[in-house]
Structure 1
Amino acid sequence: MPEYILYNNIIYNNGEYLPATTVFHLIRGDWTILISDRSYMKLRARQIYIVDTVEQCEQIAVKFEKSASYLPILGLDCEWVTQNGIRQPVALLQIADNNGMCSLIRLSKFKTIPSSLSDILSNSNIIKVGVAILDDAHLLMNDYNINVSGCIDLRYLAKESCLEERSLSALAFKLLGCELDKDWHVRASDWEAEELNDRQTEYAALDAYVAVKIFEQLRNKKISWWNWLFLTDKQKWDKVTEIYSDYKDLPYQNVRTNGNTKYKPKSNVRLYSTSTIKSAKVYDNCLMENVDGTVMSTCSHKKVDWYISQGLAELVNNEPKTIRLNFSADLKNRKDNFSVLPRENICTVCGRSEYFRKKSIIPKEFVRHMPTVHKTHIPHDTLLLCYWCHIKSNAFDFTIRKKLFNMCQIKELNPNEYQKIPAYVKIMRSKSLAKTLLKSRHSLPDKVANELRLEIAETYNMKPDRVFDTFLETLLTIKSLKYENDCQHNSAAEKVVKHFLEKDAISELKAMWRQHFLDTMKPKYLPLLWSVNYDG
């Protein structure tokens, strides 16, 4: 048993204050301490390492590897700087273990992490906990290509325990009796500064460490302390893994937040992620036959119903559901049976059987500029991935895009260049205010409406009484530079396709994308007949 000291009605253990939020007994040998008053603890991480170099990062990875071998759980959080309302890349990665060891990894200084720490973060058997932790993981992948797996959002566990609290600070107060420093001056401070001050250091370390302690408290609500006492370390962790396996890497939905919730903006992945998450099966594997009974392809229940309702086909079999066309379809260009084979409803990469997204192996902005004959292979180049593998694959795609742009001597695009223009931020805000005024004109208090009109007037150097509805409607037609940037990406993709067309090498371009997917994702469950050089 550890040495506990009772000090001012607070249990003190090796530099850590433990909560006394309810009446409980602490057994130490043959005597018992009874604590009955409500106290609040001051929780501190025992060891804080500020990591400024890759070499230091390798050293801290060894410590976390040793810690995780005993208890495979880590708290994780991220901090970043916001300039002119625009999020900058993650500046600080905070990782803490159950023993109070916390590392503050300053990604803004060295932009990457060694493989030793990367292996720990990507190991799904080591649980990472936090509030909105998948958002942090998404940002790390998007900004630095750092893969974080095995994430559990504490809000799911809080919801399961019937707690109304959802933010980290609210959960810490409720479960640990600990008040976190959530002063906006600290939250919005310069995390890219040459040196972090003491308050920043303590704030950042506690955010990661408290997450682990909250997890412990929520775990204790699921497993009685008496049963926990007689389990071996392996049995304990097997039990935890079994209970919370459904929440691993599961995006949190239907979040109800309060004022203390840490805001995590979504990254701009619009160009590279357009499909929605599908929790149910995607492929129905119904069959479509030609008029002569030849199987043409698999299809969905929806397509089967549509063909029958339009009188274009009739149902000839129920298992599997099969329709036969009433007219002859041309199959002379089909060279193999890829489209006839049933598709499994699992992630092509890892085999997961839920939370799917369809992945276009050759991005659509490239395909749309190809000759029509090359647009008929979409089923072959559309693979099913789970949510997590989809994000990872999209991040890897930046590498081959850059390679293609360099190969075709196209200037590399900088999608964030426009964010440096303060006027742009004001213009986009005025567009948002105009939308609010037009949409909620009858429900907005006059005082609020006048303030919004005044802000718009100041942006365009005009009198507030001249901000008519017609002017507001004009503001709504302004296209963002983000839209223009999308057009630039399409233009760049068109130039790449044109470059390969001139060399009669479109098949080579397609093969490059497919090989890139194989090399970076190493899929284990590719469909039969799928090939890098497919030309069916």
Structure 2
Amino acid sequence: MESTKLKVCITAVLAVSCASAVYAILRFKRRYRVSSEVLNYMDIQIVSDEAVCDEVVGEIRRRSLKLHAIGFDCEWVTDNGKRQAVALLQLSTLDGYCSLFRLNQMKIIPGTLKLVNKRYSHATRSKPLYNNGILQAPDGELLCTCDSKKARWYVEKGLASVVDEGEGEAPLTVRLRFEPAGRSVGDVGRFYQIAKENKCVVCGNTDSYIRKNVVPREYRKYFPDYA
């Protein structure tokens, strides 16, 4: 009797193990098949001369009429710390049409390509993003740095008074007339207290920069309201 039960248990364990193994293999094959078919979704065009450029740009513009947005990236090399001219420009549409423009092999950049990049490009900022106004608690403790417009808003609403108008290099400083819900605490609090530098967070350049959102506004406007 005991021997029969043992055989049944062993058979059941083997069956479960085999089923798990088969499931894992099938799942792996399915994932492999799906991942191998990803490129089938893409329609990749490599452009190395001006003659083909107009046709490809025209197709990009046609496909982007609905969402008015395209994917953008570019590649270049750096020689002795100096960035060289852009060698590869990549443009893609939502439906998988991807074009690789090998600019280093073109004598000129076609006008159609310049126009499409101008259409979807972002203008550089004409004034600093951060002016680092100072917001104080009623007892004078530093709460945070903030935009001067926000600081002025508190004053205009009668919620704060001006401590320093910010003449010259001195920042505009306002002091709240009410106790805030919270104060700056720990490393997070210190982050909000420091002055923000107007420079690129990647290369450190202090001019010709733009503000980039992690999720571009062109895409975010199509997100659900709860996102």
Under a length normalisation based on structure 1, what TM-score does the superposition of the two structures give?
A: 0.23
Higher relative contact order (CA 8 A, sep 6+): 2
Under a length normalisation based on structure 2, what TM-score does the superposition of the two structures give?
A: 0.49
